[in-house]
Structure 1
């Protein structure tokens, strides 16, 4: 997967933030956010496939 340059920088920024996190609640927030994003994307994909979004 090749990302555009701006997304590569954004990915690196988030990776560095995860790596430097020392607070357990802060670390737990990352997978919680990713889980929400995954299901938002999943729902949008279904809507597009069913013609609800165009």
Structure 2
């Protein structure tokens, strides 16, 4: 690709395992630390909430 993307081969299985662990354990721990949920950040906006109606 180019000098900026001159990485070695990726171990696909190890990458999948690490990403799975991140979302199963690390994200939960980070959500607890932030006292917030990732789901609230990723959900679709609600027009009623934007207008002040619930």
Per the normalisation by structure 2, the TM-score is 0.35
Higher relative contact order (CA 8 A, sep 6+): 1
Whose radius of gyration is greater, 1 or 2?
2
Per the normalisation by structure 1, the TM-score is 0.35
